Amino acid sequence: MKPRILFVDDESNILQGLRRMLRSMRNEWTMDFAEGGEEALKTLEGESYDVLVTDMKMPGVGGAELLDQVAERYPQMLRFILSGEADTEATFRTVVTSHQFFPKPSNSERLVEVISHCLQRRSEFETIDTGALVTGVRCLATSRSTFDALANLLDSESATIDQAVELFADEPALAAKVMQLANSAYFGIGDPVFSPKAAANLLGWDVLRALLINESFVSAFPSGPCRAAYEQAIAQARSVGELSAWIAEQRGASPQAIEQARLAGLLHNLGRLLLCDQAGDDYARVVALVEEGKGLDDAEREVFATSHVVFGAYLAAAWGMPSAVVEAIRHHRQPAVSEQNEDARLPLLAVHAALGIVSASDAGEPADTVATHLDTEFLGQQGCAESIADWTEGWRRLRSAA
């Protein structure tokens, strides 16, 4: 069955333009067009859709209200904004109910690329309800220490953008969200950025502060059976992000590629964080199975019918992460499966190697056991099998210097 997409705008000429622009996708998608928010809600009552693309400023039911209602009633839908402008209040409302914001007029190729990429990631789920864990999430919880640090920052009269940037760059949930906002046109930016630090600096302290005050934008992970697993996943993500960037640097990568490797490492556990946060009781069963000796991937498939990397890649795609980062999140545990072209493969290589080295180190294993955590054939194909010992020693030095 073809994916169903609903486009919403109060101007009929805009809808006609979309029809013409997207004519080449008629064999791939079923596309319907609603003139305004009220008509869209009536249409949604009678049909099931996979994607909503809506304007913001519309009479009656505006884009922000439409997104509020769709996010509540139909959490399985991907929700995109295609608009020429949006007032500040509406923008702050929609940063948690929409997935990406495209400026109007938009490049049709970019719109098709993003929607197709997200739908491809969603197709890996066996049921729509499972995928809704991704599209239904508004934000991910932070670690307790970061949540406390953010509270102190908001209470401080002398808080600076530099202090905020450091927190956003070191916390997976905040890093993913700030990248989403900076790479979309929510605040009129929309220029490609490749690091959370750059994204946070672009947004500025006034915007970040307003977002942090919004209770729907950030929350601390509550106490529960997954608390320890959540904090462990965040700690591992920070280590893997740091080492991934270092490995990319050792490979002579460009500054942009180094930052993509760092981001991919920081977000490699995005799916685990999502499942702990949104399905804590179920993920507690995964934790119990692992404690009984079952492998993590097998335990997750037993409970969720798929692995956390599928959830993480779908969320990263929906939030507009760079494609190389999404690919690294999806395939870092089995890198040989990836079909990524060679130029974009560095983040995947770096994260796979970094995770193996960090995992062995955290378990207190001898350095010569690192290879048991890695796909050595894949690393050999990339010409870096002989580098593992040096990278392992490099991680030891990085930890000692910290």
pLDDT tens readout for residues 212-239: 888 778 887 767 788 889 999 999 999 9
Q: What is the pTM of this model?
A: 0.95
Residue 346 · residue 322 · CB < 8 Å? no
Strand pairing partners for 54? 8, 81
What is the C-alpha separation between 358 and 245, in angstroms, rounded? 13
Predicted local distance difference test score (pLDDT) of residue 189: 67
pLDDT (average), residues 297-306: 95
* Phi, psi dihedrals of residue 34, rounded to the nearest 5°: -115, 135
- Of the two residues 264 and 105, the one the predictor is more confident about is 264
pLDDT (average), residues 85-107: 85
Residue 353 · residue 370 · CB < 8 Å? no
Is residue 108 scored above 90 in pLDDT? no
User: For residues 183-211, b (16+ Cβ closer than 10 Å) or e, as one string?
Assistant: bbbbbebbeebbbbbbbbbbbebebbeeb
Taking all residues of the chain, what is their mean pLDDT, rounded to a whole number? 92
Q: Which of 17-21, 102-106, 260-264, 310-314 has the lowest mean pLDDT?
A: 102-106
Around Cβ 97, how many Cβ atoms within 10 Å?
Answer: 20
Is residue 273 scored above 80 in pLDDT? yes
Interacting residues of 181 by C-beta distance below 8 A, sequence separation 6+? 95, 187, 199, 203, 211
Mapped onto helix, strand or coil, the DSSP state of residue 66 is helix
What is the C-alpha separation between 148 and 304, in angstroms, rounded? 32
Predicted local distance difference test score (pLDDT) of residue 105: 78
* Phi, psi dihedrals of residue 32, rounded to the nearest 5°: -120, 160
Predicted local distance difference test score (pLDDT) of residue 362: 95
